[in-house]
Amino acid sequence: MKRHLANIYRLGVKELWSLLRDPVMLILIAYTFTIAVYTSAAAMPETLNKAAIAVVDEDASPLSARIVSAFYPPLFMTPQLITQNEMDAGMDAGRYTFVLVIPAGLQRDVLGGRTAELQLNVDATRMSQAFTGSGYVQQVVQGELGEFVQRYRGSTQLPVDLALRARFNPGLEQAWFGALMEIINNVTMVSIILAGAAIIREREHGTIEHLLVMPVTPAEIMLAKIWSMGAVVLVAVALSLQFVVRGLLHVPVDGSVPLFLAGAALCLFATTSMGIYLATLARSMPQFGLLMVLTMMPLQMLSGGMTPRESMPEVVQTVMLLAPTTHFVELGQAILYRGAGIDVVWKPFVWLLVIGSALFTLSLQRFRKTIALMA
């Protein structure tokens, strides 16, 4: 047993040295756990934020002035008053996402009970803001028109007072969700890439033949690659949580980080085994990349990290119970968002251990056959 552990340790150290000599992989690791995490949290907010809007006010009435003043930060930038001739040029240049055209005689028609029409022009190339913002603009305009007709600005007092309490994210900050989920998704992606690339690198450099003549077993070779690549990802995750999530994004992590890292280690045991299996199927890095795309898309989209599993078809929910990412997302969200302890997340831990053992056994059998063919 002591000799086996020594072989696994030394082979793992060799993998770390090989990784240090691979600048592309080092850049990938650094990018996915720094810039990718930050941009996922800050670059594409789900809510409308500082949308550029202009108004063509041909009515110049108190009603049109009320409508213009209803658009203000942080949802919209301060509206710019432009002419009809400036509208198309401004939208073509990308200066405005929304242009609201208020026709002449709007106030007269509204007070006279006649039908009035306003035109909202939307730059649909800015998909995120265009989809959300068009609804906001319609609500604002309808609200101002209704209050103007009633000659009263206020809200109807309801007999029931609804108190909204948002737990775990009181400000409904999208960055809190985006940053942590990006880390959880990147753990899967990077671990599969590193483990698979370690196998293919041995084959391309011809060092796999050296291993075949050494007194080491296929299980020792696999375990060495799993612990070394898994350790690299765990260190990157810990640093990203501390310096990017907590430091740059100021996202509070109230749960137990060691407990989350323990769950990540179990997930890494499964995903690195999966990466080794894919590498035994591929003959080159391009082929491995294609297999990665086919594997990562369902793992990330159907594991509950992007959309709740409850909204998916029941068949998909059942099948995805066999995926390690499903249980990793569950325990990651419970620990990092809600501060759950082991008494709450022990089931995902057990699932990850079972799935990881099954994937390791399957990958080991495939790896042995691959080595036997090389020999």
Task: Enter the tokens of residue 215.
Answer: 């007194």
- CA 26/CA 186 separation, integer angstroms: 14
Instruction: Name the packing angle between helices 257-281 and 285-301 (round to 10°).
Output: 140
Tell me which of 32-36, 168-172, 213-217, 360-364 is least confident: 168-172
High-pLDDT (> 70) share of the chain, % = 93
Q: Which residues contact 172 (CB under 8 A, 6 or more apart)?
A: 47, 166
Position 146 scores a pLDDT of 82
Q: What is the pLDDT of residues 111-163, one digit of tens each?
A: 888 888 899 999 888 777 777 788 888 888 888 888 887 765 555 565 777 77
* 165, two tokens: 């309490």
Sheet holding 98-102, edge to edge: 80-81, 53-57, 98-102, 119-122
Instruction: For each of the domains in the chain, give its residue range(s) and CATH number, in order of start.
Output: 2-43+172-374 (no CATH), 53-150 (3.40.1710.10)
Find tokens 């294609």 and name the residue. 290
Q: Is the separation of the CB atoms in 143 and 66 below 8 Å?
A: no
| 279 to 86, 158, 232, 288: CA distances (angstroms) | 58, 63, 19, 6
Q: Residue 229's pLDDT band (boundaries 50, 70, 90)?
A: very high
DSSP state, 51?
B
- Rounded Cα distance between 194 and 220, Å, is 17
The 3-state DSSP class for residue 98 equals strand
For 248-298, write each residue's pLDDT tens digit. Answer: 888 888 789 999 999 999 999 999 999 999 998 888 888 888 998 888 888
Judge contact between 336 and 253, C-beta under 8 A.
yes
